[in-house]
């Protein structure tokens, strides 16, 4: 016997996964996590028995509900699964999966269209961050086709505008969790920063790399990945995150001078494999570091310190972020806006074996 659970399988930005209405999943976390592991086919490197795509970027899920918080329309819980482990991590955000939240809510009746466009305020339960999302809803229906293009996704689609309201210290205690804009850790200078996603920025040249290597080359560079993990663990302690060995953050990001007319070049690790692009909130955090005098990005990035558009180059293109800065406090980013796209790929039910509901079973 298998138990059906309603789901919409959606792409959000450069990620994808199943989305659920909270009421359709088990209420207790332990059972819920077993159900999600079974739905995606983890733990298995190929995720052959589930919806997962055998990669961290396609081993994700989202849970949405109507919000009871005043002024907020929707609550969103992001869940990061891994192909080959039983970990279900809810400690950090995902700005790409976030892009599918408003379309999902409109498709499932959790929210109603407001006209030609619909703006919904979303609270991410992972870290308490809020944002305003604007989607195209001509005729009261979500538009998925359009002219907007984001690197890392083929073709074009309807734009989704996301304006983050307060991202500093999303997981850490503050924007600069070590209290410094630059630290010397494990023999290299780093900037430990959290403006939506905890990151450790390090110049590629400091590790003997150029910063424009391919994703495949970086993933095959075992000397580099081992050193990055040692550095990540040390920085995790410095950032007040404790032992991050089994955590998906902080993300390690190599930076270099831009190569293609952007503001800065990046190679972001998530955290043990190199991202084919860069995460939404990682891009916001990198862009923020470009604004900070004395950071490791200072002198490398080609960006104004007064805010505006920051173009973050990544292996498959670039990611533009619009930053607004408090003139009285250059370390206070008052607004971060960006554009994403999303698409409903499939609607239906995911079937989960009945035995999964029994404690201790991940059939």
Distance CA 93, CA 170 (A): 8
* Nearest Cα residue to 234 out of 197, 271, 278, 184: 184
Q: What is the predicted pLDDT for the residue at 1? A: 86
- 183-332 folds as Diaminopimelate Epimerase; Chain A, domain 1 (3.10.310)
The strand pairing partners of 78, in sequence order, are: 62
Say if residue 245 is exposed, middle or buried (CB neighbours under 10 Å; 0-12, 13-18, 19+).
exposed
Residues composing the chain: 363
Buried b vs exposed e over 133-161: b needs ≥16 C-beta within 10 Å? bbbbbeeeebbbeeebebbbbeeebbbbb
Give the SS3 label for residue 290: helix
Within 8 A by CB and 6+ apart from 42, the residues are: 50, 52, 59, 81, 82, 83, 84, 85, 86
CA separation, residue 74 to residues 68, 120, 127, 257, 294 (Å): 8, 7, 14, 39, 38
* Nearest Cα residue to 362 out of 43, 59, 45: 43
Using 70 as the pLDDT threshold, list the residues of the chain that sit under it. 359-363
CB count within 10 Å of CB 223 equals 9
* Nearest Cα residue to 33 out of 69, 2, 63, 65: 63
Within 8 A by CB and 6+ apart from 163, the residues are: 131, 132, 335, 336, 337
CB 190 within 8 A of CB 200: yes
Please report, for the chain, how many H helices and E strands are present, in that order.
Answer: 6, 17
Distance CA 281, CA 129 (A): 11
pTM of the predicted structure, to 2 decimals = 0.82
Determine whether domain 2-159+342-357 maps to CATH 3.10.310.10.
Answer: yes
Instruction: Please list the residue range(s) of the chain that carry CATH number 3.10.310.10.
Output: 2-159+342-357, 183-332
Distance between terminal CA atoms of the chain?
A: 12
CB 65 within 8 A of CB 129: no
* DSSP state for residue 158 in the 8-state scheme: -
CA pseudo-torsion sign 135, 138, 141, 142: negative
Q: pLDDT tens digits, residue range 142-174?
A: 999 999 999 989 999 999 999 998 888 999 999
Task: Provide DSSP, 296-323.
Answer: TTTTT----TT-EEEEEEETTEEEEEEE
Distance CA 118, CA 133 (A): 8
Q: What is the predicted pLDDT for the residue at 359? A: 62
CA separation, residue 299 to residues 126, 184, 290 (Å): 34, 17, 9
DSSP E strand stretches across 237-307: 251-256, 264-269
CB count within 10 Å of CB 68 equals 8
């Amino acid at each position: 016997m298998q138990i059906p659970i309603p789901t919409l399988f959606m792409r959000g930005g450069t990620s994808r996964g199943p989305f659920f209405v909270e009421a359709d999943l088990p209420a207790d976390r332990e059972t819920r996590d077993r159900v999600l592991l079974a739905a995606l086919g983890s733990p298995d490197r190929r995720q052959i028995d589930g919806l997962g795509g055998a990669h961290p970027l396609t081993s994700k899920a989202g849970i949405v509900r109507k919000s009871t918080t005043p002024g907020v329309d929707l609550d969103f819980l992001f869940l990061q699964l891994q192909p080959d482990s039983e970990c279900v991590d809810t400690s950090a955000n995902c700005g790409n999966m976030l892009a599918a939240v408003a379309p999902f809510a409109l498709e499932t009746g959790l929210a109603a269209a407001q006209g030609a466009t619909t703006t919904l305020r979303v609270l991410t339960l992972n870290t308490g961050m809020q944002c305003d999302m604007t989607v195209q809803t001509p005729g009261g229906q979500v538009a998925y086709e359009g002219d907007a293009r984001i690197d890392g996704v083929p073709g074009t689609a309807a734009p989704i505008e996301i304006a983050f309201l307060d991202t500093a210290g999303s997981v850490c205690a503050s924007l600069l969790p070590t209290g410094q804009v630059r630290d010397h850790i494990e023999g290299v200078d780093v900037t430990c920063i959290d403006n939506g996603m905890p990151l450790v920025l390090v110049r590629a040249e400091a590790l003997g790399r150029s910063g424009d290597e391919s994703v495949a080359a970086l993933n095959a560079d075992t000397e580099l990945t081992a050193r990055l993990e040692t550095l990540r663990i040390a920085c995790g302690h410095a950032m007040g995150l404790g032992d991050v060995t089994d955590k998906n953050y902080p993300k390690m990001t190599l930076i270099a001078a831009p190569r293609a007319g952007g503001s800065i070049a990046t190679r972001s690790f998530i955290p043990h494999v190199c991202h084919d692009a860069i995460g939404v909130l990682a891009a916001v955090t990198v862009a923020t570091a470009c604004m900070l005098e004395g950071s490791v990005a200072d002198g490398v990035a080609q960006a104004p310190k007064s805010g505006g558009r920051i173009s973050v180059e990544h292996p498959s293109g670039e990611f533009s972020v619009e930053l607004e800065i408090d003139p009285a406090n250059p370390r206070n980013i008052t607004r971060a806006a960006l554009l994403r796209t999303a698409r409903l790929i499939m609607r239906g039910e995911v079937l989960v074996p009945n035995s999964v509901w029994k404690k201790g079973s991940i059939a």
